[in-house]
Chain A
């Protein structure tokens, strides 16, 4: 019974942690540091670290090798990439076109995606307006089959 209560408490904490990570990404356009999360959730750095590891183990987030800070909370990416998503004064980064489209899908906002053709580098700026993607001449290419998506997150 005690083990069951502990498991449920950890699950509740992980939901709070995940939602706080997203609040930070949405409002500030970048990943919160583990120390920020500790302060915001009124808990110890060790508790946050353990929660981040659990979320990473379930592929909910990805952590940087070494420092262990948040690299990805899909669809957001913590550092500048070739997929910039802008909405008014807000800016976010995504690791691929799927995630870039995932940001307006998640937030229900109109956005413009600043990217370029993977082959020739010509600027491509798909936009989502009123829940629809605007037509432009472009195609999406998935190079890696689903079974290998987690082998190399950066390349995938």
Chain B
């Protein structure tokens, strides 16, 4: 995305206001910001729904896999670049709303069938995807009977079956309890380690997100305020608080410890309690 400005139909304030953002293959990017900052709009621009389905006016350039979004019809824009591999797949915050089948298997096959992937290949991918999200043995299960965390893992598995170049997880943990949340962040860690997909994770809470991503993008009022590795972004705790995203306690306390002369000044923020405690012990 380069210098993207977007307005929804009938609105004067831009939902995206000069956004430039590049996501490379295999990169894991966290996206945070207060409600109304433009996170969902940005995700929709990365799937072509903005502006193709929403209408509105878009200026600047959005290129998905090299195709210019504005000049390409939606069907063509999202058609696979490589055989059998989707360009973008998205999961949403409410895991239940993503269930389309009566069994986990049907849910997982749906997207890949639409891509025209051969049946045997889909079967093989379903096995792999279920193993990857640690739901082997749930192939015949009724999706609604699963826990929230399991449903969200099914949604991610269904995305994986499409082998997307870019996987967008829009607030994957906001409806989950702490166990479900831990399951999803563990899974994001393994998605990152696999190097197979670029992943964009939208999330309110920076604690878990910061430790899981290569880069952190913070949006405020449709503008990118930060786009850097988490350890750099989390140095600026005062600005983050002003924007309305809560920095991890360890980052805040680390800065306070520097100001109190307990720690030497550092260009790097502390992402978690273990890192801060190790530095304080030195």
Whether A and B are associated in the same complex: the answer reads: no
